[in-house]
Structure 1
Amino acid sequence: MASRETKGQAEEKANQTMGATREKAEAVKDKTQETAEGAKGITSRAAQSVKESKDQTGSYLSEKTGAAKEKASEAAESAKPKDQAGKEKSAGILQQTGERVKNMAQSATDAVKNTVGMGKDGE
């Protein structure tokens, strides 16, 4: 009979140990699930924060790019009158230079003609 009592006690102890192990396993499972849900929430908030930051950066860059384009356009517009004036001045200088070269060439031609006796003065 002692053997049956010992066997019964051993079975009861095993059942108690199994029950305690199941309870601990359930607690670990619950804690793991809570941790996973918490991590999921943190990850979701971080992703949202990154998206918002990206949107803000995109808006900022777009705004700055637009401002730079506008300034470049204004600079190009303000340079047009100066460019036109420069072209006109250059054209005037080239015309004057051309006239001077023409006059010098004519004078040289006249001098050669006069030297060889073909000029108007020599006739």
Structure 2
Amino acid sequence: MKTATIQYFTVLSIFAFMMIVLPAGVLAAEQGTQVDSTAINAAGNTDHETLAHYYEDQAKEMEAKIQEQVEAFNHKPSTSFLGRNGQRIKKHVVYKIHEFEKAAAESLEKAAYHNKMAEEQENR
């Protein structure tokens, strides 16, 4: 009975993980190709202003995700973080927040780079 329960929860957690992770990867891949095709015009020149706006929007989305995670974290009852699984959940949420912060910072760096390139393109 105990092994059946463990197997059931293992299969259920793997399924839940797949349902959460796979669509995110597909969406990220689709968005990247969409921006790449719109940012390069017919002459082969890159539109840095469009790319800068895209990366700024990505950073804003990451900030929104950070806020969602923080709010969800703050609204959970404190008893949900008790025990071994509770500590794992807490660490996972904190890890996700840090990853979103890194992604937001990278997007802002890319946006700054493309803004700089757009200014240089205008000066030419």
TM-score calculated relative to the size of structure 1:
0.34
Higher relative CO (Cα under 8 Å, sequence separation at least 6) belongs to 2
TM-score calculated relative to the size of structure 2:
0.34
